[in-house]
Amino acid sequence: MKHFLGAAAVAGMLLWAGQASAATVSLFCSSSGAEYELCKQGAEAWAKSSGNEVKINKMPAAWDEALPLYQQLLSAQSADADVLLLDVVWIGLLQNHLLDLNAELPKEDIAAHFASTVAAGTVEGKFVALPWYTDTGLMFYRKDLLEKYGKPVPKTWAELTETAKAVQDGERAAGNKDMWGYVWQGKSYEGLTCDAIEWVGSFGGGTIIDEKGNITIDNAKAAEALTLAKGWVNNISPQGVLNYDEESSRGAFEAGNAVFLRNWAYVWGTSQGKDQPLVGKVGVASLPVGAQGAKSSGCMGTAHLGVSKYTKNKEAAVSLIRFMSGLDEQKRRAIAGAYNPTISALYDDAEVLKALPFLKDAQTAFAESVARPSAVTGSSYNRVSQAFYKAVHGVLAGEAEAAEALKTLAADLDKIKQRGKW
């Protein structure tokens, strides 16, 4: 009689032969773009190779809607969330609920990631968030339309505004009534904090709060940046941009209805995927600058993976994040979905560079990316960011002048910063 052993049976035998028993590890996967499928494939590949199981929870598409859910689960010390996908700005907020991975991972594993991403995952000496992919705000543009109108890729916001208007007018006259010049994230949420910190940073107006914790947002350069953005609404950007997040702005661009789009790198993956209408027509560049000599200031949006302190499956959970942020999996995600590796060796990998030709062009954007003030404000970051994006949204919606709104914002932030300490 022939014996046939399937992979699951083999894995089962290996476990039986003395390893820890099989576990079901629950994790959160994002649901933006192709992310859910990619995350699920990775987690399932780990489950198969390790003989464990995974239970996948879908995060809301807007990440900041996931944070209250995490906070609820973690403060109840729930064992239902073993592995958490972490936005770089949540690490300070959630650190007390996360396992210190220094004790769990080999030093070489940690050292393989860019030092800046390891630093972002470290709070008070504890390494609580393993880097998974790195990201920054980028400018996507219709290469074909810029060529058609003989326009160069804009280097300043003023150039972008002018080019967006010229192409929009030309295309509308040619019959594309739905064409807009520029789409971005103007909804009142964390994504607007990113867009707005980019405008402000690129005018040399700082990062809301500086590294020492001083409130710096009430300044003329910041007001100039917000006034410019306000001018886009109903001019080169639809009124509806005030309710756009990443996915809705991507939708407008990929439907062929926008010349420029501000978004994260994953849009390379979605727009250049098989059979997509814009294949070969999209370029990627770092965001324009406001003032001469200022930096392009893309918002830093690195994603990390952490393990809850309350997990009942510590070994398996650590093994899962090690697999998911390991070299092979980061390479697969880079090629399949344009998620930028945090493992430096992959930037010399020929297959990665072939799949992501924009990596070379976007290097300035990565080098000049600007961090939101989450490290310095720690557990107050959420309130700081909310105050900021609400104030910015008010300016964009025409409810207040920029200078006046920033003055009020600075006073509100001062109240959040009780007694001179965040």
The contact set with ligand GLC (CB under 6 A) reads 63, 87-89, 135, 190-191, 194, 246, 264, 301, 303
Helix (H) or strand (E) holding 385: helix 381-396
Q: Is the CB of 74 or the CB of 89 nearer to ligand GLC? A: 89
Query: Shortest distance, CB of residue 144 to ligand GLC, whole angstroms?
Result: 27
Query: Shortest distance, CB of residue 14 to ligand GLC, whole angstroms?
Result: 37
3-class secondary structure, 154:
coil
Q: Is the CB of 218 or the CB of 254 nearer to ligand GLC? A: 254
Query: Shortest distance, CB of residue 300 to ligand GLC, whole angstroms?
Result: 7
Q: Is the CB of 135 or the CB of 218 nearer to ligand GLC? A: 135
Helix 381-396 to helix 402-416 angle, to the nearest 10 degrees? 170
The partner residues of 29 in beta bridges, in order of sequence, read 58
In angstroms, the CA 110 to CA 108 distance is: 5
Number of Cβ within a 10 Å radius of residue 150: 7
Query: Shortest distance, CB of residue 289 to ligand GLC, whole angstroms?
Result: 21
Residue count of the chain, please give it: 422
Find tokens 């499956």 and name the residue: 313
Q: Is the CB of 104 or the CB of 135 nearer to ligand GLC? A: 135
Query: Shortest distance, CB of residue 13 to ligand GLC, whole angstroms?
Result: 41
In angstroms, the CA 141 to CA 188 distance is: 24
Number of Cβ within a 10 Å radius of residue 322: 18
Distances (CA, A) of 312 to 26, 78, 80, 101: 11, 10, 9, 16
Query: Shortest distance, CB of residue 283 to ligand GLC, whole angstroms?
Result: 21
| Start-to-end C-alpha separation, the chain | 71
Residues 6+ apart with CB under 8 A from 67: 87, 90, 93, 382
Q: Is the CB of 36 or the CB of 149 nearer to ligand GLC? A: 36
Q: Is the CB of 121 or the CB of 154 nearer to ligand GLC? A: 121
Closest-by-Cβ residue to ligand GLC is 301
Q: Is the CB of 31 or the CB of 216 nearer to ligand GLC? A: 31
Query: Shortest distance, CB of residue 192 to ligand GLC, whole angstroms?
Result: 8
Strand-by-strand arrangement of the 53-58 sheet: 53-58, 24-29, 83-87, 303-307, 130-133
